[in-house]
Amino acid sequence: MNPKYTCPKCKASMSLTTLSKEYPIAGAAFAVTMPAYVCPEDGTWIVTNEVSQEIDRRAVRAIATQGPATGKTLRYMHGFLQLKGTELAAMLGVAPETLSRWESEAMPLNPLAWVTVAAMVLDKLEGRAVTTKQLRASVGGERSAIPIEVRL
């Protein structure tokens, strides 16, 4: 239940504590409080993959909700969506090169594209696909033969 970790630097036994650290995620400042294994000798700290993934989920939610809207945060959100560059670019109606230039900050990003990707991130966190469906609908095409049902 409480695995033992040895320090990768000095091999001392690490102990589980609650650690607060300030560090940037996708270029944005974060103050993270997390369970971590800390070396009593040199302060080296590590977190489990589970904790690391949960930090990512919380960070991507915070970024999608409040920004900052930058190329770095766009790239971070893109990574969370696990979509190929070509797939996401097509959904946004831009060339893959354009998406790549936004993410590398070689070109000012389109704020509406950032907001769209943020909405996709929040959808994924909630287990729904509203924005993806809206994007498909916005490029037209598939019209259902079944009438849209409205019940009061």
In the complex, which residues of this chain contact Zn ion (CB under 5 A)? 7, 9-10, 12, 39, 41-42, 44
Nearer to Zn ion, 5 or 114 (CB): 5
Query: Rounded to the nearest 10 degrees, how much is the dihedral formed by the CA atoms of 35, 69, 24, 130?
Result: 20
Nearer to Zn ion, 37 or 102 (CB): 37
3-class secondary-structure state, position 43:
coil
Nearer to Zn ion, 41 or 126 (CB): 41
Q: What does the alpha-carbon distance between residue 34 and residue 98 come to, in Å, rounded to a whole number?
A: 37
Q: What does the alpha-carbon distance between residue 102 and residue 114 come to, in Å, rounded to a whole number?
A: 10
Q: In angstroms, what is the minimal distance from the CB of 32 to Zn ion? A: 21
Q: In angstroms, what is the minimal distance from the CB of 13 to Zn ion? A: 9
